[in-house]
Amino acid sequence: MKSLMMQGTRILSTGSAVPNSSLNNSQISEIVETSDEWIVTRTGIEERRLLTGMNKSVVDLAVLAALKALDKISMSPSEIDLIILATSSPNDLFGSASQIQSKIKALNAVAFDLTAACSGFVLSMVTASQFLKSGTYRTILVIGADVLSKWIDWSDRSTCILFGDGAGAMILQSCPQKDNQILGFQLNTDGSYSNHLSLLYKEQVYPHPVLNLYQGSFKYISMNGKEVYKFAVSQVPISILKCLNSLNISTHDVNWLLLHQANERILKAIADKLCISNNKIIVNLNKYGNTSAASIPIAFDEALTENKISNNDIIVISGFGAGLTWGTIIIKWKS
Ligand code: COA
């Protein structure tokens, strides 16, 4: 652990992984009463990927995404000091990040999970940047990965059409301030609306004459779609504006809006409120649906692969979702 004061943060590499198995809207209409037309019109989603098969978990996708990010820059996993896994669907409630550490052989890395639903990647990136800024760690692997297909009630048409599985990884490294890419961030939580989107614990009395205990398991995802929609469209533009204003950056200077891939209508409404052209929105939710903590890093990785992002581009990243938690990071890309 080195102490380097007030370092900048540089994005060294990205990687992503989605399951091979896909489920399109016509196939979903064989499971619940819905239609391709209804889903596309209300959400923009055409298909999603699902992790199928026994004993497959979020760890499998996260490992694949991490290895791709490492491979792109030929980095040895032993260089990683910290792994943060943003997930709300771990395969072990004690944490899944340590399994990733072992599987990718990042033997020098500390590893922990961070749970903040669809805002998990934004919160993890900010957390990582604080460790880098303080000089505590030099190289951090941040992964956003979720397999919400395991927590969906597949008879509930209002939620099962929305979500898909996936993982995205990003390798961040400390750098001199002049090369810093994370210009600023703005984070928020309002727990009084947590009931609008939740995956709650369900208690049952533990049948023992002496122990007065309640034990249980988790229910399915439950959502008030209209309220979540209103929350995202009203609060996310405020967060973005606060963050841009604090950096003296105008909305006209924004090159890309990289928002959590929840619903195309939400993305467009946020862009419209900010008077940012729709062709600056990065969208891939038509292929994957809402992959929760994975959506931003997957979209980022694809945008880089497609050479969309140029040197000095200003990228606004915003996550929003259960908690309710939402937040923004402003990046200046340096290739
Ligand atoms: N197929 C067909 N009909 C459906 C349906 C489906 N998959 N899901 C709901 N409906 C029906 C409803 O039952 C309702 O019927 P009714 O008028 O007879 O009662 C009607 O469609 C309208 O439902 P409503 O919930 O008002 O639709 P909506 O316009 O709000 O769209 C969402 C629903 C879920 C697409 C929308 O609210 C949304 O995207 N919210 C944000 C969700 C989100 O992004 N969550 C994750 C954030 S991280």
Residue 61: pLDDT over 60: yes
Residue 314 β-bridge partners: 332
Atom 48 of ligand 1, nearest CA residue:
321
What domain count does the chain have? 2
Tokens representing 135 are 């000089």
pLDDT for position 138:
97
Which residue, 179, 211, 245, sits at the end of a domain? 179
Statement to judge: residues 30 and 125 lie in one domain: yes
Statement to judge: residues 16 and 89 lie in one domain: yes
Residue 154 resides in a domain: yes
Residue 302 resides in a domain: yes
Between CA 18 and CA 165 the distance in angstroms is: 7
pLDDT for position 106:
98
CATH number at residue 208: 3.40.47.10
Statement to judge: residues 66 and 190 lie in one domain: no
Which residue, 147, 179, 211, sits at the end of a domain? 179
Which residues are known catalytic residues?
118, 260, 290
Vertex 110: Cα angle to 101 and 329 (nearest 5): 95
Q: Give residue-wise pLDDT tens across range 140-183.
A: 999 999 999 999 999 999 999 999 999 999 999 999 999 999 99
Residue 311 sits in which domain range?
Answer: 182-332
* Contacts of 106 by beta carbon, 8 Å cutoff, 6+ apart: 77, 78, 80, 83, 100, 141
Which residue, 133, 152, 179, sits at the end of a domain? 179
Residue 85 resides in a domain: yes
Round to the nearest angstrom and report the end-to-end CA distance of the chain: 28
pLDDT for position 211:
86
- Taking the CA of residue 158 as reference, the ligand 1 atom at the shortest distance is 8
Q: Do 313 and 261 form a contact (C-beta atoms < 8 A)?
A: no
Statement to judge: residues 174 and 205 lie in one domain: no
Residue 3 resides in a domain: no
Statement to judge: residues 29 and 168 lie in one domain: yes
Spacing, Cα 50 to ligand 1 middle (Å): 21
Spacing, Cα 86 to ligand 1 middle (Å): 27
Statement to judge: residues 104 and 217 lie in one domain: no
DSSP string, 254-322: --EEEE--S-HHHHHHHHHHTT--GGGB---HHHH-B-GGGHHHHHHHHHHHTT---TT-EEEEEEEET
pLDDT band at 206 (very low <50, low <70, confident <90, very high): confident
Statement to judge: residues 82 and 164 lie in one domain: yes
pLDDT for position 24:
98
For tokens 């209209």, what's the residue?
226
Statement to judge: residues 253 and 234 lie in one domain: yes
Residue 1: pLDDT over 80: no
Q: Is 37 helix (H, G, I), strand (E, B) or coil?
A: helix
Instruction: Give the pTM.
Output: 0.96
Residue 143 resides in a domain: yes
